[in-house]
Amino acid sequence: MLDNLIFTVLNGTMYGLLLFLISSGLTLIFSIMGVLNFAQASFYMLGAYFGFQLMGWSNYWVALIVAPILAGLLGAGVERFGLSKVHSRGHVAELLFTFGLSYLILEGVKLGWGVSSVNYAVPSALDFSLFSVGGLSYPAYRIFMMGVSVLVFVFLYLFLKKTRLGIIIQAALTHRDMVGMLGHNIPRIFMLVFGIGCALAGIAGVIGGNILVTEPSMALSLGPIIFVVVVVGGMGSLGGALIASLLIGILQNYMTNIDATLGSVIGLGHVQHVPLAELLNQPVSQLAAIMPYFLMIVLLLVRPQGLMGTVEA
Amino acid sequence: MATASAHRTRPRVGLQGLWPWALLAVLFLGLPWVFHSNASLTVLSLIGINIVFALSYNMLFGQTGLLSFGHAVYYGLGAYFTMHALNGFVAAGIAYPVEFLPLVGGAVGLAFGAVLGFLTTRRAGITFALISLGIGVLVASLAIILRHFFGGDGGLSGDPTQGTHWFGDTLAHQIQVYYFVAAWCAVCIVAVYFYTKTPLGHIANAVRDNPERAEFIGYNPHQVRFRVHTLAGLFAGIAGGMAALTNGIVTPDALGFVTSGEVLMMVYIGGAGIFFGPIIGAAIITFMQVLLSNYTNAWQLYIGLFFVAVVMYVPGGVANLFKIHMPVVRYRQLGRLLPAYALMLTPASVFILDLVFMVQMAYQFHSSSQIFLNQSFSFLGIGVEVHSGLTWALALLILAAAIGAGSLAARYVNRAWDDVAAHIKAARGEAP
């Protein structure tokens, strides 16, 4: 029982950190530019495919560094030559632009790597069991993933708090016009922020694409969960996104271990001839995938602004 | 309300305001005489269904400012319930006319639009967009789990030629399906149009433009959004019911995100700011889908590129292009614009052709390296070697040249427009 719990928490934390890598990029872009990057999960997908390709050409360590940089450069390019052109027409136009972009990236990936999944494997140097609890072994790669995620957040924090550029970005968050008047190039800051946000998703792709599956539908299956994370956490709140990511990650992993049906868990046993009987007779593990959306609905009823969000004006 | 209507001057309905309706009626009745093959009637029926769906979507997006990524939920649920109603009525021998079954879909869309709208419309703006997406994914996932009702991946089918028909032996031939769709489509277009003229339709525009001011004059924006969402559910449900009876099968795709995204593209490309915009958009996108998917695997890429191009360069969509040229025609200034447009035509068409060429070449490159097909293909009758670097370099060079020439021509077009705008201002007696 205890070993199961440890594994659930570890796996959940790992998945949660992966969600947070992507959603922190989304939140960063949203709070500074006001743009909801609909293509955020598409950059996660690009990170995975770039990682796969670079690993084939050289090795995993090169892929780990270069793939996120490529995703970030692509993001910055898209911002510079596309998104900034619709900036003057408001946030809906920007959102729709990134929606169209997600479509193009999906088609581009199908064009480049085909419609079925690619064999993006865990690097052999990290493919061993790190420790075992109660006869169950835990893969080293998952611990490595958590380590990379935490390292990225430490660097991001130091960058935003300690470097000159980071402080300018933070200032642009609250006093965009003033920062512009002080002589800083706001369009270039936007380009940089969009690039960093996309690179964060790219990192998640490189480290997550090989234990999840690298396939063209991966963006569409993860994207909505990322959006649930930011709605549950509260739009624009990094702390809220972290809590929501870990909550969803751990809860989802906990649910996948329960083989009992939903009806028996809530004390109804096997039900028949009632509406939604099929739902109640499903094993809880099958419902893990839709849990985030239920969580979102419950939260909307209880706390519409999200966990850490402020009330909308 | 009383004071507001006392001051309102009713716009005179003259004959000049009726021409779009006359055109629409002529099109609806006349099209099957021109395009009478079964294939083209099928396309026309699809367009009719998508017009109703797109108009329903635009009640939210264009008229109330609610960007939804989950509108297919109401369309799909309408379709499923309609199909169940058809099968149920046939099995039980209830003499409910099949032609009026979309009303079942509409009622279901209305009910779910109210229940789910209560949740989604609590927030506006981007949060609404995300919540509608979440609810959409939830319903689509539930549809896979609840196999008994939704029929799993295979979906649910039924035979619309069975059951009671009030208009003879209907829905057995494609032409009858067309007129069934056209009649419902016409009714819905008129209904949605009159909705935009109701107080709710007007206050929805106010909530879109400035929710705070709408609240100050006594309207609760959440209430207004909720009511519009419920009504939009009604029309989406009717569209779903029409689709169920036209296709004879409903699959979980009807509820899914891709369907929601498609209707968004239709409305945006057609033009969300103008009543007839979604109608134009539904026609264009449906036509493109059917036509392009016959010729190329890359058809979704082309639709995506088209959408992004419209977002970037044609704000307001295709309908807005007509709208901005109306005063130009009225003040007889079109002659000044046409030479500039003609100049733009060459680089624009070269750019599009070259882009299509490169996409097709990339697809050929990909499939030839996968299944060892021959490495050359024919484009506009010219054989092309896709593995040659020279071909790619040449294509890129042409693309760059087209972009260069295009931006020069764009300058010319802008100058012509400034000229025309100044002339129109002068003709109207405004200060330049």
pLDDT, tens only, B175-231: 888 989 999 999 999 999 999 999 999 999 999 999 899 999 999 999 999 999 999
Q: Please report the pLDDT score of residue A129 as a whole number.
A: 78
Q: Is pLDDT of B2 > 50?
A: no
> A279 lies in a domain?
no
Report, as an integer, the average pLDDT of A4-16. 87
Domains (range + CATH), chain B: 20-310 (1.10.3470), 331-428 (no CATH)
> A295 lies in a domain?
no
Q: Please report the pLDDT score of residue B241 as a whole number.
A: 95
Instruction: Round to whole Å and give the CA distance between B413 and B229.
Output: 41
Q: Is pLDDT of A78 > 80?
A: yes
pTM of the model: 0.89
Instruction: Round to whole Å and give the CA distance between B413 and A113.
Output: 40
Q: Is pLDDT of B6 > 60?
A: no
Query: The domain containing residue A194 runs over which residues?
Result: 2-218
Nearest CA-CA distance, residue B209 and chain A, Å: 13
Mean residue pLDDT of chain B comes to 86
Q: B3 pLDDT band (50/70/90 cuts)?
A: very low
What's the pLDDT tens digit per position in A141-165? Answer: 888 899 999 999 999 889 888 898 8
> A274 lies in a domain?
no
Report, as an integer, the average pLDDT of A1-13. 82
What's the pLDDT tens digit per position in B107-117? Answer: 999 999 999 99
Instruction: Round to whole Å and give the CA distance between B365 and B359.
Output: 10
Q: Which of B50, B57, B46, B45 is nearest to B234 (CA)?
A: B57
Testing the interface with B: which of A88, A232, A282, A290 to mutate, by most B Cβ within 10 A? A290
> A150 lies in a domain?
yes
Q: B372 pLDDT band (50/70/90 cuts)?
A: very low
Q: Please report the pLDDT score of residue B243 as a whole number.
A: 95
Put simply, the chain B residues between 196 and 225 with a CB less than 8 A from any chain A CB are 212
Looking at the complex, does the CB of residue A283 fall below 8 Å from at least one CB of chain B? no
Mean residue pLDDT of chain A comes to 87
Q: Which tokens hold the place of B194? A: 């009159």
Is B298–A111 a contact, with Cβ atoms under 8 angstroms apart?
A: yes
What's the pLDDT tens digit per position in B184-197? Answer: 999 999 999 999 99
Q: Give chain B's radius of gyration (CA, Å).
A: 24
Q: A1 pLDDT band (50/70/90 cuts)?
A: low
Looking at the complex, does the CB of residue A93 fall below 8 Å from at least one CB of chain B? yes
> A225 lies in a domain?
no
Chain B residues lying within 8 Å of A86, measured CB to CB:
311-312
Q: Is pLDDT of B57 > 70?
A: yes
Q: What percent of chain A has pLDDT over 70?
A: 97
> A270 lies in a domain?
no
Q: Please report the pLDDT score of residue B369 as a whole number.
A: 56
What's the pLDDT tens digit per position in B283-336? Answer: 999 999 988 888 777 788 899 999 999 999 888 889 988 888 888 888 887 888
Q: Please report the pLDDT score of residue B377 as a whole number.
A: 64
**To 10 degrees, what angle do helices A218-233 and A291-302 make?**
20
> A228 lies in a domain?
no
Chain A residues lying within 8 Å of B138, measured CB to CB:
290, 293-294, 297
Count of domains in chain A? Answer: 1
> A202 lies in a domain?
yes
| Count of C-beta atoms within a 10 Å radius of residue B396 | 12
B118 to chain A: closest CA residue: A301
Q: Is pLDDT of A183 > 70?
A: yes
Q: Which tokens hold the place of B178? A: 């067309």
Q: B386 pLDDT band (50/70/90 cuts)?
A: low
Report, as an integer, the average pLDDT of A70-88. 92
Q: Please report the pLDDT score of residue B181 as a whole number.
A: 92
Report, as an integer, the average pLDDT of A109-117. 84
Report, as an integer, the average pLDDT of A299-313. 72
Is A227–B133 a contact, with Cβ atoms under 8 angstroms apart?
A: yes
